[in-house]
Structure 1
Amino acid sequence: MLGTFVSIVSVSSMALGSAAWSAAALTGLCQALVAALLMNVAIVGINQVYDVEIDKVNKPYLPLASGDLSMQQAIGIVAATAALSLLLGVLSGSPALLATLALSLLLGVLYSMELPFMRWKRSPWLAALCILAVRAVMVQLGFFLHMQHALGVTGGVTGGNFIVTRPLGFTMSFMLLFSVVIALFKDLPDVKGDTQAGVQTFSVRHGTKIVFWTCVGLLMAAYAGGIAFALTSPEPWSRLPVALGHAALAALLWGRSAKVNVGRKGELTEHYMFVWKLFYAEYLIIPFLR
C-alpha cells in the first residue's frame, strides 16, 4: 500500500513538471490514490483467494491461510474494493485512470483465477507479462496521463499522438527491467510450495542460485543506465541527485546480495522484500528526472 502511494505521487509529480501543485492537481492525485489503493486490495485479495492452499505452505501468516479471515469474508472484501475502485474511476471522468484500474483488475484475474485459459501464474512467461504490464507500463503511463487530464492540459499529446517525454521514457524502460527482476525474484522463496503444486516457475526449473544472480545482474545494469541518464540530462541541477541516487542504490544492492545464502528461504524472502524497497526507492528519484 505504501509502495502504491509513493509510486502514484512520484509519477504525478513527474507529469506536473515545474508547475506548482494546484487544487486541480491535488484533486487528480487524490482520485488516483484512493481508486488505486482500493484496486490494490482487490487484486492482492484475488490472489490470496485462489492461492490459499499454496499459501498454507509458503506464507501461513496471510489472513486466509492462517484462518483469520473466512473465504466468504475475503470474497466480500475483493468484490467491494474492486467495485468501489471502478466507480471512482468512472466518477473521475478520466479515461486514463479508468483504463488503468480496469486493465489492472483484468490482469489480476487472469493471473490468479483457476478458470480455463487463466491462472497465468502457472506460466513464468505469462506471469512476467502481467507484472511488466502493470508495473512498467500502466502505472507510469496511466497515472501520468491522468494527471495531465486533471490539469486540463495536453502535455505530451500533440495532434492526438502521444509523445513520450525523456523522463517518462526512461522511467518506463527502467521499471520494465526492474519488473522483470521482480517477476523472477518473487518465486525464489516459494520453490518448495510451487514444486508441490506443479507450478513450473523459472526458480523451479533452473534453481535459485542462477535466478538470484541473474536478477542482481539485471538490477546493476538498470542502475548503470540511471547514472548514464543523469550524466546526459539537459538540466545540470538534476544530474547530481539522479546519479548519486542510482549509485547509492546499486551499492546497497550489491552489498546486501553478497551476504545472502540462497539456500535459505528466510534470507531469500527478506532479500525479496529488500528488492521491493529498492523498486519504490526509485520513485524518490523520478521527480528529479529531466
Structure 2
Amino acid sequence: MASSTSKLHLLASFPSSKPISITTTSTGSHAVKATWHHKNGKKYPKEKTCNEKSSLLLLSLQNNQKHHYTICDKIIKRKYFMTNATPTESNEPDESHQAYFPKSIWISIKDAMHTIQKFSVFYALIGLLSGILSSSLLAVESLSDISPKFFISTLQFMTAYSFMQLYLTGVNHLADIEIDKINKPYRPLASSKISYGGGVAIVVASLFMSFGIGLMIGSKPLLWGLVLIFLLMTGYSVNLPLLRWKKSTMATLASNVPTILVAYNLAPYFHMKTFVLKKTATFTRPLVFTTVVMSFFYLVITLFKDIPDIEGDKKAGHQNLSIRLGPKRVFWFCISLLEITYGFAIIMGITSPFLWSKIFTVLAHAINALILWFRANSVDLKSKEALQSFYMFIFKLLYMENVLVLFVR
C-alpha cells in the first residue's frame, strides 16, 4: 500500500511525454492517467483524457484512499484550466489585435467605395462610358485610326464627362432628398451617409473638374456637349422658378433625351472624328442607326424610371405619365417602344449590303426582342422591387446595344 501511494505521488509530480499508467497493488487494475506535450516551453495535457477523473475516482474507491483522488483531481483541474485559458494566460499571440487595424481600414475603404457607387448612380455611369467608347469606335474608318492618341483622347473625354455625370447625379440627389427618403432611402444623402454640405462640395468640385478638363483639351464638340448637358440637366433638377422640369413628363423628355443622346453618342463621335482624327464628320449609316435606336432607348429609360417611384413623386406633387396613366400602361408602352426599336434594327440589318452584318444584326436583335418579351411578362407590376430590377435589365440591354451598333453597316 505504501509503495502504491508513493508511486502515485511520484508520477503526478513528474509527468513524462508518454502516457502514465497507475497500477494498484491490491487489485492490479490499470487506468490511463494523462498524456502530456510540450508547447512554448511548457507542458500541457493532450486531449482524449475526458475519463481521467472517473477512472481515478473508481481507483480511489477501490483502494479506499481519499488522497489518491485529491492528487488526481488537482492534475485534472490543471488540465481544464490550461484548456480554457485565455490567449494571454496561455501566452498565445492575439491574432485579433494583429489583424484589427488592416481589417478596419479595408472595411472603411469598401464602405467609402460603396457610398461613391450609390452617389454616382453607377449603372448610369457605365451606360455613359460604354456609349462614349462605342461612338468613338464608330468614327474609326481603318485600323490605322486606332492608335495611342485614340485611346488617350477617349480616356480624356470619358474623364470630363464622368465628372459631369457626378455633378448631375449630385444635383439631383440634393434636390430630391425628401423624395429619396421614400423612393430610394439607400442613397447617401437620404440615408445621411453624406451630409448636405458634403454633397454640395462634391457637386461644385465635379463641375469645375469637368469644365477644367474640357478647357484643357480644347475640343469644341466636347465643350459644347458639356454646356448643353449642364444647362438642360440643371434645369431638370433644381427647384427654382420656371425650372424643376422633372415635374412634367413632356419637359422631362425634352430635357433628358437630347442631353443623353449628345453626351453618350453624338459628342464623342464628332470629337473623335473632327478633333482627334482630323476628318470630315458625316452622318454615316451606323451613326444614323445609333441615333435612332439610342433615342428610343433613352426615351424608354426616361419614362420607365418614374414607375417604381410613384409613391414619392405623388407626395412631391409631380404629374408624370406614370401617375396620370398608371404604372401598368406606362410599363407596356415602354415595352412596345423597345420592341419597335428592335424591329427597326432588324429592318436595318436586312437592308445591309454586307452579308455578315445582315446576319448578325438580324439575329442579335431578334433574340433580344424575344428575351425582352418573355422577361416583361414575368414581372410583378405590383412589386416595386420587381419594377426596379426590370429597370436595371433595360440598362443591360442598353449596354449590349452599344456593342451591337458596331456591327451595323
Q: TM-score, normalised by structure 2?
A: 0.68
- Partner letter of residue 249 of structure 1? N
Question: What is the aligned counterpart of 1:171 among 290, 303, 309?
Answer: 290
Per the TM alignment, residue 128 of structure 1 is displaced from its structure 2 partner at its CA by: 1.1
Q: Please report how far the alpha carbon of residue 176 of structure 1 lies from its aligned counterpart in structure 2 after TM superposition.
A: 1.2
Work out whether 1:102 is the aligned partner of 2:227.
Answer: yes
- Choose 226-235 or 67-76, whichever is displaced more: 226-235
- Give 1 or 2 for the bigger CA radius of gyration: 2
Match of 2:155 among 14, 30, 45: 30
Secondary structure of residue in 2 paired with 1:189: coil
Alpha-carbon distance in 2 for matches of 1:129, 1:33: 24
Paired position in structure 2 for 1:52: 177
- 1:108 deviation in Å? 1.6
CA RMSD of aligned residues (A): 1.3
Matched, 1:188 2:188: no
- Which AA in structure 2 matches 1:31? Q
**Number of the residue aligned with 2:136:** 12
- More moved, 17-26 vs 46-55: 17-26
Quick check: 2:215–2:223 contact (8 Å CA) kept in 1?
A: yes
Q: Tell me the distance in 1 between the aligned counterparts of 2:214 and 2:262.
A: 18
Q: Distance in 2 between matches of 1:262 and 1:134?
A: 29
| Partner Cα distance (1:117, 1:42) in 2 | 21
- In structure 1, C-alpha distance between the alignment counterparts of 2:238 and 2:135, rounded to whole Å: 30
Tell me if structure 1 keeps the 8 A contact 2:211–2:223: yes
CA distance in 2: counterparts of 1:62 and 1:281, whole angstroms: 27
Secondary structure, counterpart of 1:200 in structure 2: coil
Separation of aligned partners in 1, 2:169 and 2:266 = 22
Tell me which residue corresponds to 2:278: 153
Runs of at least 5 residues in structure 1 that lack an aligned partner in the other structure: 157-162
1:24–1:150 CA contact under 8 A, matched in 2? no
Q: Which runs of 5+ in 2 are unaligned?
A: 1-124
Equivalent residue number for residue 117 of structure 1: 242
Alignment partner, residue 159 of structure 1 = none
Q: Deviations over 1:120-151 (max 9, x none)?
A: 10111011112211223443211100011343
Q: 2:397 aligns with which of 269, 275, 278?
A: 278
Distance (Å, rounded) in 1 between the aligned partners of 2:215 and 2:197: 27
State the partner residue of 2:328: 209
Structure 1 position 242 matched with structure 2 position 367: no
Q: Write out per-residue CA displacement over residues 149-201 of structure 1, whole angstroms, 9 at most, x where no aligned residue.
A: 34342232xxxxxx421111111111111221111101000111111111011
**Match for 2:405: what amino acid?**
I
- 3-state SS of 2:251 partner: helix
Larger deviation, residues 144-153 vs 79-88: 144-153
CA gap 1:155/1:248 in 2 versus in 1, 3 angstroms: farther
1:237, 1:260 → 2: CA distance? 35
Residue 92 (structure 1) aligned with residue 211 (structure 2): no
Partners of 1:59 and 1:138 lie apart in 2 by 25
| Among candidates 252, 261, 268, match of residue 127 of structure 1 | 252
Count of paired positions: 284
Structure 1 letter corresponding to 2:131? S
- Distance in 2 (CA, whole Å) between partners of 1:246 and 1:134 is 25
Q: Comparing 163-172 with 108-117, which one deviates more in the overlay? A: 163-172
Partner of 2:388: 269
Higher relative contact order (Cα pairs below 8 Å, separated by 6+ residues) = 1
Partner residue, 2:192: 67
Q: Are the counterparts in 2 of residues 27 and 150 from structure 1 also a CA contact under 8 Å?
A: no
CA distance in 1, matches of 2:255, 2:194: 27
Q: What SS does the aligned partner of 1:60 have?
A: coil
Runs of 4+ with >2 A deviation: 17-20, 135-139, 149-156, 234-237
Residues of 2 paired with 1:197 and 1:89: CA distance?
Answer: 36
Separation in structure 2 between the aligned mates of residue 67 and residue 229 of structure 1, nearest angstrom: 49
Q: Partners of 1:249 and 1:135 in 2: how far apart?
A: 22
The alpha-carbon deviation at position 30 of structure 1 amounts to 1.2
Task: Return the offset for 1:286.
Answer: 1.5
